Structure 1
Amino acid sequence: MPAEPLALVYGRRLRHACLRGIETTNLAHAVELLGQHQQPVRLGQIRAADGSWTFMLFFTEDGSRLIVCTGVRRARA
């Protein structure tokens, strides 16, 4: 997947999280690095066993290197 559209999507998610007071980790840095990355990326996702956090991992296209990881605390239902 191209990195540039992901930077835009995650930039919107960052603004949304800030407006709603949703806890994130490393999201601003992820937006910055994705915006600078000129190659396609591979995505991965990890969910905490208790459902409290979801983490997105962004790898190089061949999956050999982690570019950045970000997490968002999930709202309790």
Structure 2
Amino acid sequence: MERAQLERLLGGGDDPSLAALSALRAGASYVVWDGTTSSESLAKIYGRRLRHTLPRGIETSRLARAVHCLDLYGRPVRLGQIKTADGAWIFMLFVDEDGRSLVACTGVRQAQPGPARPDDC
């Protein structure tokens, strides 16, 4: 998918979409994979991820909403990813089969590596 087409899809206005669009315009790397996956199976997978992130205090952006949207969508989706230039966030994109509309978008803050530890620790 071309960067300009992806930018148009992200113009929907919700928080994760706008943050992903901003990251993309700031030079983030991105990929939208070929092929489709069942939205229902992705709802289950990302539902597990939601249950994993909540008790650990991992910051997400509208992950519960993305799970809900995928569960309701009921048709195959293409999966995409945008990684911010500093690696602090990864945004997952769920695009309709034709690449014409965004079904859902969510972001997950990535753990920042701590200081290096000496070998004897």
For Structure 1 versus Structure 2, the TM-score category normalised by the shorter chain is: over 0.9
The aligned counterpart of 2:77 is 41
Separation in 1, partners of 2:80, 2:98: 13
Residue 58 of structure 1 aligns to which amino acid in structure 2?
F
1:53 is displaced (CA, Å) by 0.2
The aligned counterpart of 1:67 is 103
Alignment of 1:26 with 2:62, yes or no, is: yes
Residue 42 of structure 1 aligns to which amino acid in structure 2?
R
Separation in 2, partners of 1:68, 1:8: 14
Between structure 1 and structure 2, the one with the greater Rg is 2
Tell me which protein shows more strand as a share of its residues. 1
Aligned-pair Cα RMSD in Å: 0.5
Aligned to 1:14, what secondary structure does the other structure show?
helix
Provide the TM-score with structure 2 as the length reference.
0.63
Tell me which protein shows more helix as a share of its residues. 2
Query: Displaced runs of 4+ in structure 1, greater than 4 A?
Result: none
Identity %: 58
1:19 is displaced (CA, Å) by 1.0
